[in-house]
């Protein structure tokens, strides 16, 4: 999976840093990226078309 904040590839089987937003699970490379996502999930979880 790709970290929605920095774009780094994350192994979802090994990462303990995850967040569920509107039924979709997002994985992160660091606690910093996870915190940034959780502060404004719509900014990163729902890209504009």
Class of residue 17 by CB neighbours under 10 A (exposed 0-12, middle 13-18, buried 19+): middle
Hey, how many other C-beta atoms are within 10 angstroms of the C-beta on 10?
20
Copy the structure tokens of residue 10.
Answer: 């994350």
Alpha carbon distance, N-terminus to C-terminus of the chain: 20
pLDDT digits (tens, 9 = 90+) for 1-49: 999 999 999 999 999 999 999 899 999 999 999 999 999 998 886 555 4
Supply the range of the domain harboring residue 34.
1-49
Q: How much is the pLDDT for 22?
A: 87
Q: How much is the pLDDT for 46?
A: 58
Q: How much is the pLDDT for 49?
A: 40
Q: How many domains does the chain have?
A: 1
């Amino acid at each position: 999976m790709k970290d929605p904040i920095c774009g780094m590839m994350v192994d979802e089987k090994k990462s303990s840093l995850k967040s569920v937003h509107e039924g979709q699970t997002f994985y992160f490379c660091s606690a910093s990226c996870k915190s940034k996502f959780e502060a404004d999930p719509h900014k990163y979880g729902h890209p504009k078309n």
